[in-house]
Amino acid sequence: MNDVPRPGEPGRDAYLAEGNAKQARKRTAADALVRDETGRLLLVNPTYKEGWDLPGGMAEANEPPDEALHRELREELGLSITSLRFLCVDWVEPHGPWDDYLGFVFDAGVLPPGQAAELKPRDEEISELGFFDVPEALQLLPARQRARAEEALQALNDGVPRYLRNGFSG
């Protein structure tokens, strides 16, 4: 005999809430490829971890990845990007003290020359930023982030979104 309340039956919401409370929660991050008019890639230097990074950050509870990216770009850089294009999502296995998470990368487009030149950190989480030629930018990124950025750049060039595992497709 099945004890699962059917849709519309009393107790259905409580049953679903119990299941929701037991299911895994995924952390989610969203980063952006932001370029200047010469094609250089924007990187930020976070104060809370080693190395350079793509601009972006972690989503808050129940926040969609694209909205998290809009919020992070606004808070950390004062950037208001009007449109984002999905490039890839990366499932990252547990590492160190961290559980697994989903890392999204979006194309945030090319900044106009004046806006790129005036860009500066607006939040204590970012110590500096810079636009770098793509090969140099990739070398500045930690290995896991570099692999994801390389795949996102390929998706930007060929228009084919990617699903990654630990930075790599396939």
Whether the per-residue pLDDT at 67 is higher than 80: the answer is yes
The residues, any chain, with a CB within 8 Å of residue 101's CB and separated by 6 or more, are 26, 27, 28, 29, 91, 92
pLDDT digits (tens, 9 = 90+) for 3-61: 888 888 888 888 877 876 777 788 999 999 999 999 999 999 999 998 999 999 999 99
CB 163 within 8 A of CB 169: yes
What is the rounded distance in angstroms from the CA atom of residue 96 to the CA atom of residue 2? 42
Residue that has been written with the tokens 């999204």 in this structure: 104
Instruction: Give residue 83's region: left, alpha or beta (phi > 0; psi -120 to 50).
Output: beta
Residue that has been written with the tokens 């194309």 in this structure: 107
What is the band of 157 on the pLDDT scale with cuts at 50, 70, 90?
Answer: very high
What pLDDT shows up at residue 5?
Answer: 83
pLDDT digits (tens, 9 = 90+) for 87-120: 999 999 998 898 999 999 999 999 998 999 999 9
Burial grade of 43 (CB within 10 A; 0-12, 13-18, 19 or more): buried
Q: With CA atoms as reference, report the closest residue to 87 among 32, 135, 141.
A: 32
pLDDT digits (tens, 9 = 90+) for 112-138: 989 999 999 999 999 999 999 999 999
What pLDDT shows up at residue 17?
Answer: 75
Whether the per-residue pLDDT at 68 is higher than 70: the answer is yes
- Phi, psi (deg, nearest 5) at residue 155: -65, -35
What is the rounded distance in angstroms from the CA atom of residue 170 to the CA atom of residue 52? 26
| Tokens standing for residue 158 | 């060929």
CB 107 within 8 A of CB 85: yes
What pLDDT shows up at residue 1?
Answer: 52
